[in-house]
Amino acid sequence: MLKPVENSGYRLLHEGTLTLAEIERNGIRVNRKYLKKVMWKIRRTIAEETEKLKKDEIGVLWKKIYGNKTKFGSRHQLSYILFEKIKIPNPNRTERGRFKADEDVLEGIDIPFVKRYIRIEKLKKILNTYLSGIWREVDGEYIHPTFNLGNAATFRSTSNSPNFQNIPIRVPWIAKIIRSCFIPRPGRQLVEVDYGRIEVCGSTCYHKDPNMIRYLTDPTKDMHRDMAMKCFMLKKEEVDKTIRYCGKNMFVFPQFYGDFYIDCAKNLWNAIGRLKLCRPDGVSLYDHLREKGITSLGACEVGVEPKDGTFEKHIRRVEYDFWNNTFPTYMQWKKKWWNNYLRTGGFYLLTGFYIEGVYRRNEVINYPIQGTSFHFLLWSLIQIIREIKKRKMKTLIVGQIHDSIVADVPPDELSDYLGLAQEVMTEKIRKHWPWIIVPLEIEAEVCDIDRPWSEKRKYEGTF
């Protein structure tokens, strides 16, 4: 349970609720013609690809084994066909010893049947989870997603009808299909402004780790690049954008959110094959690691001691160094924060709230960071909308996604709006909350006039 314990917390809750209601009222415009056409096209593609799947020799075998009980959407049946009948190697198992057939496992299998299966499943999700949800909520030319403040224990916002905060971005072709549904009002531009590294900044306001502060204040330092170097045993110049992405999203952030070396090792190892990670000279990172004495992933099982020469043991060493040498103050804060919760049953947020109740250790450590980081955005939204009205601007805020703001902007107001966002989100907020001890940064992506959200590109001008 979260409750305001200071007047500042109450004001943020009250004014934030009114602000999100205004964003809901504004709504975001939908290209109904495109939406209807793309839904029809995806249904046809699913039907055609499913017929091809059934005629494939693996599909024929599947039907032969299961007969009338065949379900081409069943991961259990697929797992049996691929890993027990065809004998495709798969080291990933469930706690009960069954072969896993989740998306990460399937992505690593380079055969046409599996690739077609994955594509069909993704198309089904695009159609049934996202596009149908948008179509169901269209009112005229607009949807008016609801943004809530009372549903999450962290006071992070949630969204429904439809869930505007659940639009996928990691797979470009999927993001393009869905975001192409959203367009600006005639003659306008969609503009997305987001906080960079906001949860890292939010966490630093709590633990105050000196090394983290240096990473956030020294533009020559790059935490994600450095950790990718250690994980894959590379030199600085050998870390490209994709390898850095793996260091960031498969080691650094999982470690911050409470994961540990076993999952990190599996995800990083599998990414080498799935993303075809190589050194600049073209040598696969599998071969590169063999040159360094690492010959296999390892067992990656809880309670099983990692063996020498395995990637698992290497990542365990990297993890130990990460918390004991790179960010020891952060590590001590986590221990102290958790022990204090065990004594009191709750914890305070810097933004004037108190969270109490029964929570797991990771929740106790992550909730103040998630909540506080969203409060940065919420406070900024309140101030930006207030200033837009004061200046009699025609810009409308039409959506928010935890760390980003989506606006519908007349072209002649673009510069003024981005300048306003920069001032509020990076300068005024630090005057309002002096305990923000690291600089905050924003980035902007802008669509051309009358073009969909999917065509946003980085804004190259000055704020």
Strand partners, 406: 192, 399
Q: How many CA atoms lie within 13 A of 227 on its CB side?
A: 31
CA dihedral 398, 402, 405, 406 (to 10 degrees): -50
Rg over alpha carbons for the chain, rounded to the nearest Å, is: 24
Name the percent of the chain lying above pLDDT 90.
82
How far apart CA 128 and CA 249 sit, in angstroms, is 27
Q: Give mean pLDDT in consecutive 10-residue pieces for the chain, a chain of 463 residues.
A: 78 94 97 98 96 93 92 88 86 72 81 92 95 96 93 87 91 94 98 95 97 96 96 97 95 94 94 92 96 92 90 97 97 97 95 93 95 96 98 98 95 97 98 97 97 96 80
Quick one: pLDDT at residue 390? 97
At 147-168, the pLDDT tens digits run 998 788 888 899 999 999 999 8
Quick one: pLDDT at residue 205? 97
Output the six-digit token pair for 18.
């009114």
Amino acid sitting at position 425: M
How far apart CA 422 and CA 427 sit, in angstroms, is 7
How far apart CA 266 and CA 273 sit, in angstroms, is 11
Quick one: pLDDT at residue 91? 67
Quick one: pLDDT at residue 104? 76
How far apart CA 122 and CA 317 sit, in angstroms, is 37
Q: What is the DSSP secondary-structure string of 329-368?
A: HHHHHHHHHHHHHHHHSEEEETTTEEEES---HHHHHHHH
Amino acid sitting at position 85: K
Quick one: pLDDT at residue 302? 85
Quick check: helix, strand or coil at residue 51?
Answer: helix
Buried b (16+ CB within 10 A) or exposed e, 203-229: bbbbbebeebeebbeeeeebbbbbbbb
Q: Which helix (H) or strand (E) holds 304?
A: none
Quick one: pLDDT at residue 100? 79
Q: What is the DSSP secondary-structure string of 67-125?
A: GGG--TT-HHHHHIIIIIIS------B-TTSPBP-SHHHHHT--SHHHHHHHHHHHHHH
Q: How many residues in the chain?
A: 463
How far apart CA 391 and CA 140 sit, in angstroms, is 29
pTM of the model: 0.91
Q: CA 164: distance to chain centroid?
A: 14
C-beta separation of 319 from 261 below 8 A: yes
Quick one: pLDDT at residue 1? 61
Residue with tokens 């939204």: 381
Output the six-digit token pair for 260.
């540990």
Output the six-digit token pair for 346.
């709750």
C-beta separation of 331 from 206 below 8 A: no
